[in-house]
Amino acid sequence: MRTLMKSLIFASAAALALPAAANAAVTLGSVTPGTAPYSGPAPTFDFESAAPVSGGLVTTGSVDGVRAQPFGSTGNYWTVGPSDGSPGIMDLSSIGDIFNISFLWGSVDEYNFIDFLDGNGDVIATFSGSDIFNPANGSQTDPNLNPVVRFDISGEHVSSLTSLRLRSTSNAFETDNFAINAVPEPATWALMLLGFGAIGFGMRRRRSSDKGVRVRFA
Ligand SMILES: [Ca+2]
Ligand SMILES: [Ca+2]
């Protein structure tokens, strides 16, 4: 009996512990066809001043078969590929909590990959060009293949996400206008407030039934 109780307690504790871990993730939040000029979120890194990247190449303009300036990108952009260097790393360790990251992904190719890494260099999540649009054929003019993509970060990874690693097995993976968001989106705030509201409502109900009187919170 005692063993049964113990395993029940253990199972409940495990069930309580699970949701937080299961919810921790990096998810593809949105893919918005690109515009010229660019009309996405205000960039943290537009490569016009020094950005915390290593590998690949920060440059401007296009070279046939090597790299193409993303549709809607101006000035410098960051490209990764066999000709210019792959992988490329963006160091986010100076930014603290990160709730979402968006950037302009130019000429999306099926052989482009982005890894989200924690402080140990372990991969939290990986996405390929084919996750963004199908077919990911690298068009340099189709807005669908030059979109602003947003990735949402949740749970423990809000604090543990430390760097991005861009890889491309063929030319090339071109990006510009990285917007790193250190505060939750309004929708996330609404959900959090809803959660607090539900907890408050639960407490009020419990108090009412315990004491047999209605407790009002001003
Ligand atoms: Ca730029
Ligand atoms: Ca490309």
- The CATH number of the domain holding residue 44 is 2.60.120
Q: Do 50 and 104 reside in the same domain of the chain?
A: yes
Compute how many other C-beta atoms are within 10 angstroms of the C-beta atom of residue 61: 9
What percent of the chain has pLDDT above 90?
72
Q: Give the Å distance between the CA of 123 and the centre of ligand 2.
A: 23
What confidence score (pLDDT) does residue 80 get?
Answer: 98
Per-residue confidence band for 197, with pLDDT thresholds at 50, 70 and 90: confident
How many domains does one find in the chain? 2
Q: Identify the nearest ligand to the CA of 66 by its number.
A: 2
Instruction: Give, as residue ranges, everything with CB less than 5 Å from ion ligand 2.
Output: 107, 109, 138
Q: Are residues 152 and 208 in the same domain?
A: no
Say what the pTM is: 0.78
- 79 with 173, same domain? yes
Same domain assignment for residues 138 and 71: yes
Q: Looking at the structure, do residues 68 and 151 belong to the same domain, yes or no?
A: yes
What are the structure tokens assigned to 102, written together? 């968006």
- CA separation, residue 119 to residues 80, 183, 200 (Å): 22, 20, 36
Answer yes or no: do 177 and 162 share one domain.
Answer: yes
Evaluate whether residue 26 is within a structural domain. yes
Per-residue pLDDT tens digits for 140-193: 999 999 999 999 999 999 999 999 999 999 999 999 999 999 887 676 667 777
- Residue 70 Cα, ligand 2 centroid: separation in angstroms? 8
> Is position 11 within any domain?
no
Of all ligands present, the nearest one to the C-alpha of 112 is: 2
In a domain, 4, yes or no: no
Distance 92 CA to ligand 1 centre (A): 18
* For residue 12, pLDDT beyond 60: no
84 and 167 within one domain: yes
Q: For residue 174, which ligand has an atom nearest its CA?
A: 2
pLDDT at 217: 58
Q: What is the pLDDT of residue 23?
A: 58
Residue 19: pLDDT band (50, 70, 90) is very low
In the reported structure, the alpha carbon of residue 47 is separated from the centroid of ligand 1 by a whole-number distance in angstroms of 5
**168, 147: one domain:** yes
User: Which ligand approaches the C-alpha of residue 49 most closely?
Assistant: 1
| One domain, residues 214 and 162 | no
Distance 34 CA to ligand 1 centre (A): 14
CA of 173 to the centre of ligand 2 (A): 5
Closest CA to 130 of 114, 142, 118, 143: 114
What's the gap in Å between 56 CA and the centre of ligand 2? 13
Distance 106 CA to ligand 2 centre (A): 6
Cβ-Cβ contacts under 8 Å for 27 (sequence gap 6 or more): 151, 152, 154
Average pLDDT of the residues of the chain: 87
Domain of 59? 21-183
Higher local confidence (pLDDT), 5 or 60: 60
> What's the pLDDT score for residue 16?
45
Whole-number Å distance, alpha carbon 188 to ligand 2 midpoint, is: 32
Percent of residues, the chain, with pLDDT higher than 70: 79
- Measured in angstroms, how far is the CA atom of residue 204 from the centroid of ligand 2? 56
| Ligand located closest to 171 CA | 2
Question: How many whole angstroms from 84 Cα to the centroid of ligand 2?
Answer: 12
pLDDT, residue 206, reads 64
Query: Which pLDDT score, from 0 to 100, does residue 5 have?
Result: 47
pLDDT in tens, 20-70: 444 569 999 999 999 999 999 999 999 999 999 999 999 999 999 999 999
The mean pLDDT of 87-94, rounded to a whole number, is 97
